[in-house]
Amino acid sequence: MIGTILLIAVSGPLWARYGFTFLVCCGTFGVYSTTYAWLSSTITQPPVKRAVAIGLANTCANIASLFANYFWLDQYQPMFRQSWGCLLGFQVLGFSCILTLRFLLRRKNKKFEAIVSEGHINDTIFMSSLDDETRNAVQNNFRYVL
């Protein structure tokens, strides 16, 4: 996001703008491998759920190729500020999704911790009232990786 902001703000020498594009590329493509590794280690059971999560992540990552070509029109050259602004908007959207997911997973981990700390894990009636995901997570001491 810093590279994108610099590309919008700086109209200086071409070599500097070229260098800022490397920041954008590093931030963009580094996320893919981390996302797939995180999904594979976090969503482990059932395998179908993990496969769907990875497929959805891959679909969302590649769907940009359908509309991104319309951001880089000749009318926006030579600085392409509008184009970089669109890219920054999607980066902000992605970052807000990451923060939201982090908040939700942290809350889920706290729920698992509360069940374990209150000693409900030995209460068979309480454990049978939980859904399968929560029950398995509590019994196997599973926590989401944040």
Render pLDDT for 55-69 as a digit per residue (tens, 0 to 9): 998 898 888 888 888
Range with lowest mean pLDDT among 51-55, 100-104, 120-124: 120-124
Q: How confident is the model at residue 139 (pLDDT cuts 50, 70, 90)?
A: confident
User: H or E segment at 37?
Assistant: helix 14-42
pLDDT of residue 118: 78
Percent of the chain residues topping a pLDDT of 70: 100
Which pLDDT belongs to residue 100? Answer: 93
State residue 33's pLDDT score: 80
Q: What confidence tens digit (pLDDT) does each residue in 69-109 have?
A: 888 899 988 889 999 999 899 889 988 988 998 899 899 88
Domain regions of the chain by residue span = 2-105
Q: At what angle do helices 14-42 and 2-9 cross, to 10 degrees?
A: 160
What is the structure's pLDDT at 113? 87
Terminal-to-terminal C-alpha distance of the chain: 21
List of residues 6+ apart from 39 with CB closer than 8 A: 50, 53, 54, 57
Tokens 């509360």 locate to 114
Of 30-39, 45-54, 85-94, the range with the highest mean pLDDT is 85-94
CA distances from 42 to 19, 90, 108 (A): 35, 25, 13
The sign of the CA dihedral 96, 98, 103, 107 is positive
Checking if the pLDDT of 30 tops 80, the result is no
How confident is residue 6, by pLDDT bands cut at 50, 70 and 90? very high
Whole-number mean pLDDT of the chain? Answer: 85
